[in-house]
Structure 1
């Protein structure tokens, strides 16, 4: 597979340091995709998980090394911390190994559109005001991900497609979870639409999306835990959501500007 080169790439919710991280798919994505600018949109290293159990396999080291190598070779990398790596927020505007930490940033596309880049937990009332509840929810989510690991192995054994997200399945079968996603999106747009912005690019809720709400573009990068998704900006400023499964052909899932999928 050839390497695709983009103007900008956004990835979030990698959860390195936890058993949730789909390291194979992430390494495959980093290997086959380069960009002038790379945004790491929060929950990159999962300090919540590491505080409970030390888990750092070799391929997690390789992920960090590959990102640092991109920075050394000229990719502008901006790290916007999330709630699972919130300690990094204390280092706003610091530079670590050619990677710049910013608690938020404004990105201007090739079309001149201005996007706020944030992780998104700042707009999640549960994460912001009820951290204890968010952590209980995180434990339940961890259990679903662990069960899902065994489900994937079983599906592979019986010849079914191995990529299956139990957490996503449950999320969209539970009415309250669906409502939470909708409320989160609309709350963020309502807060930001009068801020001289064309849109927002975030992560946090592990639900990738490009959608227009009241003339404001809401973009969510998704994650590399359940769906293995990223947002890319082409050289002409088009935004695209891609789903990346290791050793499989990437699926082009959504385009902004209503153009046909790019062959790269």
Structure 2
């Protein structure tokens, strides 16, 4: 039997419930292994845009929603920060629904005293400088590759092979996609630094990873349609990325010790880690 992993905080985003791409079964497996004291749902949990075209919530996805609500009833603090695909829920910010608090953004304090800005990340889209035709082409290709991803993993599942992200492998080889990610990271780091915070946690771009600059830490928890990753905070405050099996795939980079929210340390080199 798999060992239960107790964590202080779990961050997940971009589930896209209501679409065929949502990996609800894999996330349900993770939630059977991980027991968080606090859970952040960092946007695009329900894909209301897709459901407007075709309203559907398969049984596996319904069971996942029920599992999350059971976590809330069991005492886990759950904060839901709507993203661009569930933006209609932003009108509920400040309310609590089924013991789930809905907020536009949050400041999370880690066990070791760091203060992190938590938001979905779509607010940084205006800082990304790519030609409109590149963005449109990229979105079309992304949907096509996601459809291929579904078929590839159906075959792998039939053969008893584990989940593997074809779409993530393809995106990692496209220069425009990597430029988009780099610009997004810079915008998020700048915002956290401007507010005097120690770091940023978000989703939105479906690209899990860490980055550090000038004493500020960037964390992206990934998604549950391609990478199937989450961000955890351990009881001592350390952060790590885990996959759907609960295995650590990346630890946060080492940072120079500094006061909470400190901005006075010398600039350090950017630290890029392998992204899931």
Map 1:79-228 onto structure 2 (within 5 A).
Answer: 79-125=80-126, 138-156=139-157, 161-228=161-228
CA deviation after TM superposition for structure 1 residue 153, in Å = 2.6
The answer to whether 1:13 aligns with 2:14 is: yes
Q: Give 1:66's aligned residue.
A: 67
Partners in 2 of 1:163 and 1:76 — Cα distance? 30
Q: Give 1:262's aligned residue.
A: none
CA deviation after TM superposition for structure 1 residue 166, in Å = 2.4
Q: Give 2:252's aligned residue.
A: 256
| Secondary structure class of the residue paired with 2:44 | coil
| Secondary structure class of the residue paired with 2:194 | coil
CA deviation after TM superposition for structure 1 residue 137, in Å = 5.2
Provide structure 2 residue ranges, at least 5 long, that are not aligned to the other structure. Answer: 256-276
| Secondary structure class of the residue paired with 2:117 | strand
TM-score, with normalisation over the residues of structure 1? 0.88
Inter-CA distance 182–5: structure 2 relative to 1 (3 Å threshold): same
TM-score, with normalisation over the residues of structure 2? 0.84
Inter-CA distance 204–139: structure 2 relative to 1 (3 Å threshold): same
RMSD: 2.4
2:25–2:64 CA contact under 8 A, matched in 1: no
1:200–1:219 CA contact under 8 A, matched in 2: yes
Inter-CA distance 68–202: structure 2 relative to 1 (3 Å threshold): same
Q: Give 2:37's aligned residue.
A: 36
1:15–1:46 CA contact under 8 A, matched in 2: yes
CA deviation after TM superposition for structure 1 residue 118, in Å = 0.1
Provide structure 1 residue ranges, at least 5 long, that are not aligned to the other structure. Answer: 260-264
